[in-house]
Chains A and B, each alone.
Chain A
Amino acid sequence: MTLRIVPLYPELLSIYADRGNVRVLQQRARWRGISVEVTPLALGEALDPAQTDVVLIGGGQDRDQALVAEALVAQTPALRSAIADGVPILAVCGGYQLLGHRYVDQSGRDTPGTGLIDFESHAGPTRIVGNVVVETEFDGTRHELVGFENHAGRTLLGPTVAPLGRVIIGGGNDGTGTTEGCLDGRVVGTYVHGPLLPKNPWLADQLLAWACEHRGLSTTLAPLDDQLECAAALAASALARSERR
């Protein structure tokens, strides 16, 4: 039984080192003796939900957004069926925006998204840039997410969509420093990169556990020595808190 990690269009969607997220998932599976394979989806290819245990969607350059959006929207039925099967999705920055209904850029151009989650985004007058700390809760446990945000988009969640967390430091979804990202079942959307998973190993393990469940593997993951990851998260959190934003 091999776990399959599927990054979507990595040649276009990896502006904020999104391959770091891929590497972290892959290594954390390997270190536990779980057989794992990374099979990127290229432009023009069709996503096979049966051969997919976790989907990663990264951020891209603005100029590529329309190209990626078109390809991604074409995969909406496959993504919907994967979500229904319990496949987790992690979408960051531009990838996050494409989970919603639309993205309207500065010039007013409207790029349709997949509409998988009920929200929409539009470009604001300024970029929201800096270190981020977000407080979030998974299965009753409080966690801190740390990373970096750099986005012009302002995302407004629909009334039934829960945010991923509450902003402690940073701009978050709409720049006001209230909510960050979205969490809908096993679909995680966020503006936090850095990339996201290296400093937030608990989230990497949550995604892995869901992926294992989808593949029919044990969801009890052997503990790893996360000293370095935790030290980096603590240092980044302290740094973010020491700055005025």
Chain B
Amino acid sequence: MVNARVTTARGLARATGAISRLTRRGGGTTLPGHVFRRLAPDGLSQLAMELTEGIVAISATNGKTTTAAMLAAIVGHDQMVCRNGAGANLLSGITTALVTRRRAATIGVLEVDEAALPAVSQQLAPTVLVLGNLFRDQLDRHGELELVADRWRVLVVTLDPATTLVLGADDPVIDGLAGLRVNVLRFGIDDPRASLTVQDAAADSTFCVRCGTAYVYDEMYLGHLGAYRCPRGDHQRGALDIVARHVRGDGIRGTRFRLDAPDGTSEVVLPLPGLYNVENALGAIAAAYALGIPTALAAARLADFHAAFGRFERIVVGDREAVLLLFKNPTGANEALRAIANDVAGAQIVLALNDRIADGRDVSWIWDIDLEGMLDTAAHVTCSGTRAAELAVRLHYSNLAVTTMTTTTSTLDAFDAAIVRAPPGGRVFVLATYTAMLDLHRALADRGLTQPFWEEQA
């Protein structure tokens, strides 16, 4: 039961959140959590116990926000869901979500930062823990990939045996966690036609987690995700429980695939493009299955899923359309570029690269994006953000004609210019890093073109 001190702390913390929203200062996605933790440092585990139907914690370098949004869409038909906002995924943001949850919410669907996961998981004691993938991302903030992987190994070993562990088996490092415990569900793609013909330059973990020998990939989907086996025979992708087969893409309109699960087969029509969204959908369906929701029902509910903040969000501006895509690392950027590839011709492209802490201070990674040839048919490309000039150099070395490229720091200015430049019925694609997308989104919300970001939590 929640004690009096925790109740008082929650009351005060909620009040600061309300004030923060009224004054529109940052949406209050982390402040109540800070206040609560100051007043009741160990109160989070008590708040977590109030979610009587359980908590699903989701972590991954790529796709945790979308996976959480998908799972909330699946679960939300029957239950009130407590969620944290995209990006507010450290201890403070998660605490805020629990502090400010609606009273009727009985289930938690929370995305958790990779580095924060061990501490968060210990306090939340999740019913289901989804670990999707680990990519090289913002090294200056998290330390190297292997360090996070080591922490996750310790976490998995010490996890409550009652927790169902849902693993993205296409990632060798994640699959390697399966051997450390029982009560595991693996999800992945099994489709030779979805395989890349050339290896992604962004591939990170292509060496055996047991002996260090290079894996042989029978299929490689994105980055280092695929069907792999160690030639020395000590590790290969485990048997998949929740599987996507016969994946068919339809540009930015979406993707279809056949879902094979322990409780039957169904067809999934996903209104989001790209293989990484197939991975996200599988993670959400697997988590739902672990909660007792039939996979056919989960699949049906994904058919009218709406994109989360900056994840293929479509915005109508007069008779033009803007499509917002978040990019934060080479793998995500490569997938986004592949997904729009058939629609780039004649389109306006706005790229935005910021180097604030939430974006990663080090922008080296733009050189690991497979940009070559991807934007050559665009009508115009604008580079924006705090590091706009570096993007322009990157595009120059991809042989993009300089005549079709301009540079400006303000992403909103770049957006407006692109809308004006687009012909009636034309399309603007915005690919932006996290804080650049946040700023743009806020400005567009002020104009009433989209919902303010923090309202998504409600």
Contact = CB atoms under 8 A, between A and B. Distances in A.
Interface of A: 11, 14-17, 19-20, 23-24, 27, 61-64, 67, 127, 129-131, 148, 150, 193-195, 198-199, 228-229, 231-232, 234-236, 239
A17 B365 contact: yes
A228 B394 CA distance: 10
Contacts of B392: 228, 231-232
Interface in B360-388: 361-368, 386-388
Contacts of A130: 140, 361
Interface in B212-234: 212, 214
A156 to B, nearest CB: 23
Residue of A15, A61, A194, A228 contacting most chain B CB atoms (<10 Å): A228
Given A15-B136, A27-B397, A148 B361 contact: yes
B145 interface: yes
Contacts of B214: 11
Contacts of A11: 206, 214
Contact of A19 (B136, B367, B386): B367
Contact of B397 (A67, A127, A198, A234): A198
Contact of B146 (A61, A127, A228, A229): A61
Interface string B338-362: 0000000000000000010000011
B120 to A, nearest CB: 23
Nearest to B368: A17
B352 to A, nearest CB: 15
5 smallest A-B Cβ distances: which pairs? A20-B367, A17-B367, A232-B389, A17-B364, A235-B389
B394 A198 contact: yes
A232 B392 CA distance: 8
Interface in B388-415: 388-390, 392-394, 396-397, 399, 402, 407
Contact of B201 (A19, A62, A232): A19
Given A16-B362, A62-B146, A131-B361, A195 B367 contact: yes
Nearest to B399: A27
A19 B393 contact: no
A150 B362 contact: yes
A15 B368 CA distance: 9
Nearest to A236: B390
B368 A19 contact: yes
5 contacts: A61-B145, A150-B362, A198-B393, A229-B396, A239-B355
Given A199-B390, A199-B393, A228-B389, A20 B206 contact: no
B366 to A, nearest CB: 7
A229 B392 CA distance: 9
Contacts of A199: 390, 393
A64 B204 CA distance: 12
Contacts of A194: 362-364
A124 to B, nearest CB: 14
B389 A231 contact: yes
A27 B144 CA distance: 30
Given A148-B361, A194-B363, A228-B389, 18 more contacts: A15-B144, A17-B367, A23-B397, A24-B397, A61-B146, A67-B212, A127-B140, A127-B143, A148-B363, A150-B140, A195-B364, A198-B367, A198-B390, A198-B394, A228-B393, A235-B389, A235-B390, A236-B390
Given A61-B145, A228-B392, A229-B393, A17 B366 contact: yes
A62 B364 CA distance: 18
Contacts of A229: 393, 396
A231 B383 CA distance: 13
B445 interface: no
Interface in B161-211: 201, 206-207
A58 to B, nearest CB: 11
A20 B366 CA distance: 9
A152 B335 CA distance: 32
Contacts of A150: 139-140, 362
Nearest to B405: A228
Contacts of B143: 127
Nearest to A147: B364
Nearest to A61: B144
Contacts of B146: 61-63
A28 to B, nearest CB: 9
Residue of B144, B207, B367, B389 contacting most chain A CB atoms (<10 Å): B367
Contacts of B362: 16, 129, 148, 150, 193-194
A25 B390 CA distance: 17
Given A150-B139, A198-B394, A20 B389 contact: no
